[in-house]
Chains A and B, each alone.
Chain A
Amino acid sequence: SAVISQKPSRDICQRGTSLTIQCQVDSQVTMMFWYRQQPGQSLTLIATANQGSEATYESGFVIDKFPISRPNLTFSTLTVSNMSPEDSSIYLCSVGGFSGELFFGEGSRLTVL
């Protein structure tokens, strides 16, 4: 399984600011996925990030709010823009293994005041 590292692990931010979350994988992967978990809720897919192309966003998520970069096959960033308290969530990065199984990073817990 891949080793997935996320930074920051947690942060407290002010309303109206933006925060960039980094995801580093120890092996090259074609697709990386970003999920959101709001407090007490399940996980929801935000977008799929492919190297060299624009991310593909799921319904309800837009690039202006959650811009994603994928500069190479081992790294991706997710930015949460113009944050409001409703953006307080755990954001998780995910990659697939050779068998099709998905693995997750340890998550970035974001609190917006």
Chain B
Amino acid sequence: GIQVEQSPPDLILQEGANSTLRCNFSDSVNNLQWFHQNPWGQLINLFYIPSGTKQNGRLSATTVATERYSLLYISSSQTTDSGVYFCAVSPLTQGGSEKLVFGKGTKLTVNP
């Protein structure tokens, strides 16, 4: 099956710093989503981005589908950004776009 690799696995930042999280995937996809899991376990949708670039406030994401990777940018990080960031994809060979395969996540800690 498709492989989803996220890097780095752990990241520690000082408040105000910028960061880039990476997601590599091993096959063509028709869905790619970034999620933030807060300390209470809730999954929050950040981006639905099978291709292209999107921005939402301090966050932005870029997916280069032809090269099979996606990047999540966090600027001016805040302590509330702490948590685990997951990349999840749906393989093109699967047909539908709704069965997601998750990477192992990047655990982000933002210190005050």
Contact = CB atoms under 8 A, between A and B. Distances in A.
Interface residues of B, number: 21
Given A42-B86, A42-B105, A43-B86, A101 B45 contact: yes
A43 B98 contact: no
B102 A42 contact: yes
B30 A100 contact: yes
Given A92-B43, A102-B33, A45 B105 contact: no
Interface string A5-41: 0000000000000000000000000010100010001
B88 A100 contact: no
Contact of A43 (B42, B90, B97, B102): B102
Given A100-B48, A104-B45, A107-B43, 14 more contacts: A1-B45, A31-B98, A37-B41, A42-B102, A42-B103, A43-B102, A45-B99, A100-B97, A101-B33, A101-B48, A102-B33, A102-B98, A104-B42, A107-B42
B54 to A, nearest CB: 12
B68 interface: no
Nearest to B49: A101
Contacts of A101: 31, 33, 45, 48
A109 B41 contact: yes
A62 to B, nearest CB: 18
Contacts of A104: 35, 42-43, 45
A57 interface: no
A2 B94 CA distance: 23
B43 A45 contact: no
Top 7 closest pairs, chain A to chain B, by CB: A100-B97, A101-B48, A96-B98, A104-B43, A42-B102, A43-B102, A42-B104
